Amino acid sequence: MINTKNSNYIRIFDTTLRDGEQAPGFSMTTLEKVQLAKQLEKLGVDVIEAGFPAASPDDFKAVELIAQSLKTTEVCGLARAMESDIQTTWNAIKDAKKPRIHTFIGTSPLHMEFKLKKTKAQILEMTKNAVEFAKSLCERVDFSPEDAGRSEKEFLVEVIEVAITAGADCINIPDTVGYTQPEEFGALIKYLLKNVKNANDAIFSTHCHNDLGLASANSLAGILAGARQIECTMNGAGERAGNAALEEVVMNLSVRPDFFNFSHNIKTKEIFATSKLLTLLTGQKVQANKAIVGKNAFAHESGIHQHGMLANRETYEIMTSESVGVKSTKMILGKHSGRAALASHFERLGYEFTKEEITKIFIKFKILADKKKDITDQDLHILALGENNEKRLHWHLESYSVSSGSNRLAEANVTIKNTETGETKTAIKTGDGMVDAGYQCIDEFFGKIGELSHFGIDAVTTGINDQAIVNLRIETKNGRVQSAKSGDTDIVKASLEAYLDAVQELSFWK
Ligand code: KIV
Ligand code: ZN
């Protein structure tokens, strides 16, 4: 990685696993987070903000595992400007090849008065202490004056000077509420670079939210004004309307070198695979007309457009779908593929399975390949996630049958088996549809743990034999939210497996 202060290299700081993951509906299990982190590393991001370790033991574990798993990418943890958060963050990231601490404190009048109840002098003191402490633990330290977009400029200069003197090597400027306009945001970066006395000792970064749909435009304005790091997320995931979308910022730089003339390390051909993986893990689809990664981003429907495209692709396309890796969803394995081919594709996707595990998954792969001709990367992710769930959760769907009709209640007969003890449980229940009847059976086994707050079905690609991905969320009375997913060519089976996994996870907390 090139360090960038005075160069034209743009450092990509991905916060999908922190700002993205903290948005409703985007939560992932620890192993899913590790999987996404490996894909982000393959994509070529410079820094991965892996989470907020002080937020919960689960967050801590995920950040720690990501720090231990990545080979080249910097791994960053977020911490409030307080010693206990910073120490916890350091404990989580210390095994990373290149650890980084990102500490922040609110600097706008609203944040200081109402959230923090602190004076300017106290904020300056906390900034100094936090950055100095972070620097005593970790070579790389980012500092963010939260809500910079609505902070007084003169005070921002003071805070930033203190942070740089205390050892911050990167100053991230968040437009926390997505309020600023591109010209305004660019002018803010310019003002800071000009007025902060020690600005040359740090890289300036942007962190723009998308409340007014301007996050990517603001980030690009930041680059033009002198910022050399962009904090962004895949698919624009993040709090409320999200963050600057990595794919948008990067493709602007790539498609318009005549305008921007900046370099970056993103392997753009990995963009689509990364976007798809995030969708698969969270169940959160991107809108069809989303720039770069939406289903329609490269579709040409009208006759006039199709005619133009046939004559010359550039009449209606400014980049090729190949350049962002859309073609990588093609079939990669079929029913004649062997165990070694399967193992090597898992390795390519970043999964580490033992020979015994591959033998187990291979049986499922063969069953799937018999039902579905083309096996894609998405199918392999689903098989792998199923195997990882089996390792963690002991109750599995042993058998089921369901029936339904127009003038009667649906009925389900479900048997589950504990793979550790060999114990089985069976229930027969009626319900409002076959899936509901099946869920009543599972509730009979574990007790009613919570309410289903989201249930979505999607197909991996298209076609009647495709795998259905069921993605659901259960919320308990005390506010715990558990999501789960499962894929199968049979929708009912995928629905039962996802529900069984979520209920088991929640039953650990009961
Ligand atoms: O939006 C924001 O201000 C943040 C900070 C923690 C950087 O996410
Ligand atoms: Zn944010």
| DSSP letter string, 405-443 | ETTEEEEEEEEEEETTT--EEEEEEEESSHHHHHHHHHH
Cα–ligand 1 centroid distance for 106 (angstroms): 9
* φ/ψ bin of 168: left (φ > 0), alpha (ψ from -120 to 50), beta (otherwise): beta
Helix (H, G, I), strand (E, B) or coil at 214: coil
pLDDT at residue 13 in the model: 98
Q: Which residue, 283, 328, 345, is CA-closest to 43?
A: 328
pLDDT at residue 507 in the model: 86
Ligand 1 in reach of 85 Cβ (< 6 A): no
Ligand 1 in reach of 19 Cβ (< 6 A): yes
Ligand 1 in reach of 107 Cβ (< 6 A): no
- By CB atoms closer than 10 A (0-12, 13-18, 19+), residue 137 is middle
Encoded amino acid at 287, one letter: Q
Pocket test for ligand 1, best of 175, 176, 205 (most atoms within 8 A of CB): 176
Ligand 1 atom 8 nearest Cα: 19
Mean pLDDT by runs of 10 across the 510 residues of the chain is 68 98 90 95 98 96 98 98 98 98 97 95 98 98 97 98 98 98 98 98 98 98 98 98 98 97 97 95 93 89 68 82 77 79 88 90 89 82 85 91 94 96 97 96 95 88 75 89 89 95 85
Per residue, what are the HEC states of 94-111?
A: CCCCEEEEEEEEECCHHH
Q: Which atom of ligand 1 is nearest to 146's Cα?
A: 3
What pTM value is reported for the model? 0.89
Pocket test for ligand 1, best of 105, 146, 171 (most atoms within 8 A of CB): 146
Cα–ligand 2 centroid distance for 235 (angstroms): 15
Ligand 1 in reach of 104 Cβ (< 6 A): yes
Q: Which atom of ligand 1 is nearest to 104's Cα?
A: 6
Cα–ligand 2 centroid distance for 451 (angstroms): 29
Cα–ligand 2 centroid distance for 46 (angstroms): 18
Ligand 1 in reach of 207 Cβ (< 6 A): yes
Q: Which residues surround ligand 2, an ion (CB under 5 A)?
A: 19
Ligand 1 in reach of 52 Cβ (< 6 A): no
Ligand 1 atom 1 nearest Cα: 176
Q: Which atom of ligand 1 is nearest to 144's Cα?
A: 7
pLDDT at residue 2 in the model: 40
Residue 195's alpha-carbon distances to 56, 164, 191, 485, in angstroms, are: 38, 13, 6, 51
Residues 402 and 437: beta-carbon distance below 8 Å: yes
Ligand 1 in reach of 283 Cβ (< 6 A): no
Ligand 1 atom 3 nearest Cα: 176
Ligand 1 atom 5 nearest Cα: 146
Question: CA–CA separation, 326 vs 359, rounded Å?
Answer: 31
Q: Which atom of ligand 1 is nearest to 148's Cα?
A: 3
Contacts of 265 (CB under 8 A, 6+ apart): 1, 12, 44, 45, 46
Q: Which residues of 348-374 are buried (b: 16+ CB within 10 A; e: fewer)?
A: ebbbebeeebbeebbeebeebbeebeb
Ligand 1 in reach of 106 Cβ (< 6 A): no
Ligand 1 in reach of 146 Cβ (< 6 A): yes
Helices (H), 336-376: 339-348, 355-371
Structure tokens at 393: 């959760």
pLDDT at residue 3 in the model: 45
Q: Which residue, 289, 364, 297, is CA-closest to 324?
A: 297
Instruction: Give all domains of the chain, ordered by start, each with its CATH number.
Output: 19-282 (3.20.20.70), 299-388 (no CATH), 393-509 (3.30.160.270)
Say which ligand is closest to the CA of 149.
Answer: 1
Ligand 1 in reach of 73 Cβ (< 6 A): no
Residues 243 and 236: beta-carbon distance below 8 Å: yes
pLDDT at residue 374 in the model: 77
Pocket test for ligand 1, best of 15, 16, 19 (most atoms within 8 A of CB): 19
Q: Which atom of ligand 1 is nearest to 177's Cα?
A: 1
